[in-house]
A = this chain, B = another copy of it.
Amino acid sequence: MTENHGVGGSIPPLGTIAGPSPSGGLTRTAVAREDERPHTIFQLPTPTLLLDRTRLERNVARMRDKVRELGVALRPHVKTAKSIDVLRVLSGGDDMPITVSTLAEARYFFAHGVTDILYAVGIAPVKLPEVAELIRAGCKLRVILDTPEAAEAVRHFIDAEGVRIEALIEIDSDGHRAGVAPTDPLLIEIGRHLGDCLAGVMTHAGASYDCRTRDEFEAMAEQERALTVAAAERLRAAGLPCPIVSVGSTPTLHYAQRLDGVTEARAGVYVFGDLVQAELGTCSIDDIAIGVLSSVIGHNRHHGRVLIDAGFLALSRDRGTGEMPIDCGYGAVCDPLTGALFENVTVSSTNQEHGIVTSVSGAIDFDRFPIGSRVLVLPNHACATAAAHDRYFVTRGEEAIIDIWERVNGW
């Protein structure tokens, strides 16, 4: 991989506002202007996504140690951060295999030198030409699928186009979303369609998010492992190749006791952590590495509401903590300098560009939220909140902006 470009290396060119022009005025000039680059968070317009590099490094080290202890390779899911700069923190600059959720991520990371990529959403036949284009360019891109129809479509495309596309079969290890059960006759049928293009099996135990006790988490991690290994063994017993056995989610990896038979582990959201992860016990509130910096724009004293300029477009409408022991609304509110939570204060509702901040305990202390002051909103779900933004303002310590890192959104 190439070196980190440092501050502003990937910021788009300055758009000037000199008058009406078809191309001008598309960038946030107060930020993008070279001679006015922000050094503290108080120079940033709001809403803005902040990333605490110290916390990121801590989260990355914790998972790296855990996966090393489990004795498998780590293939991080970059769908959370969607940033080559974040991946460089994970990889330390070495080659690292990755998991992606979109072909836009595959193109972006490949363009930045990453070659071993698993596209971990069931392949739609309409996307095969794009997959082939990346493979022909030298990318070791693999796809996943879980139906004979998709396997047939891939096989037909391979034969018609003369390109080798390797696929993993998605295994249903938890009844949560997708995949074929390890005991299902379809497993072998799909494997036979793929033949020598079968590269292995993979699963994601999304049901781990419904676990609440350590015993439940450990059992779910073992179930994820055992069912996926069983599927691999069944394929091998049928004479089919199955070199890769890939499992993972942030909760199951955090709680896993062993990964015998597994070759690689995947997890994504652990790099940032979030309020859901904190409730699941995979991180603490103090590990949450991203937050949305917002300005206080209104006081509605009659209704006990502080208004901020981060609404559902900046925070996302994720309500991940809604069914959890502590409901954080659309985000927990904290002091952007100290990181200290304002106790019982959450974003209780949102409109497009408005967040309504209230206190769970009733009265809110307006003096703590003067008009024009800043708050940091911690996300329920880091993947959803980060996706609302096109860049991170990276901080280290209390208020210094040390970097600006771009994201690759879209498809």
Contact = CB atoms under 8 A, between A and B. Distances in A.
Contacts of A302: 172, 175, 181
Given A19-B137, A147-B298, A172-B300, 9 more contacts: A20-B110, A20-B111, A22-B111, A30-B130, A121-B354, A150-B372, A177-B356, A206-B351, A313-B387
Given A317-B319, A372-B149, A24 B111 contact: yes
Contact of A25 (B24, B47, B110, B122): B110
| 4 pairs of A and B residues whose beta carbons are closest in the complex | A124-B295, A25-B111, A149-B371, A122-B297
A84 B262 CA distance: 52
Interface in A22-51: 22-26, 28-30, 42, 44-48
Q: Considering residues A110, A111, A303, which has the most beta carbons from chain B within 10 angstroms of its beta carbon?
A: A111
A303 B24 CA distance: 51
B295 A134 contact: no
A394 B241 CA distance: 45
The number of times this chain is found in the oligomer is: 2
A22 B282 CA distance: 34
Contacts of A318: 312, 317
A26 B300 contact: no
A299 to B, nearest CB: 6
The secondary-structure label for the interface of chain A is loop
Given A29-B133, A107-B26, A178-B307, A126 B390 contact: no
29 contacts: A20-B113, A20-B115, A23-B111, A25-B111, A26-B107, A26-B108, A26-B408, A28-B104, A29-B107, A30-B130, A45-B126, A46-B411, A101-B352, A101-B353, A121-B353, A121-B354, A122-B307, A125-B372, A126-B295, A147-B299, A147-B371, A149-B370, A150-B298, A172-B302, A177-B300, A177-B356, A178-B298, A178-B354, A312-B318
A124 B17 contact: no
A352 B113 contact: no
A293 B103 CA distance: 16
A213 interface: no
A42 B20 CA distance: 37
Contacts of A321: none
Interface in A89-129: 101-104, 107-108, 110-113, 115, 121-127, 129
Q: How large is the interface on A (under 10, 10 to 19, 20 to 34, 35 or more residues)?
A: 35 or more
A205 to B, nearest CB: 13
A361 interface: no
B309 A108 contact: no
Interface in A216-230: none
Q: Considering residues A21, A26, A313, which has the most beta carbons from chain B within 10 angstroms of its beta carbon?
A: A313
Contacts of A354: 121, 177-178
Contact of A150 (B17, B297, B303): B297
A14 interface: no
A146 interface: yes
A288 B145 CA distance: 33
A48 to B, nearest CB: 8
B126 A352 contact: no
A5 to B, nearest CB: 8
A175 B153 CA distance: 56
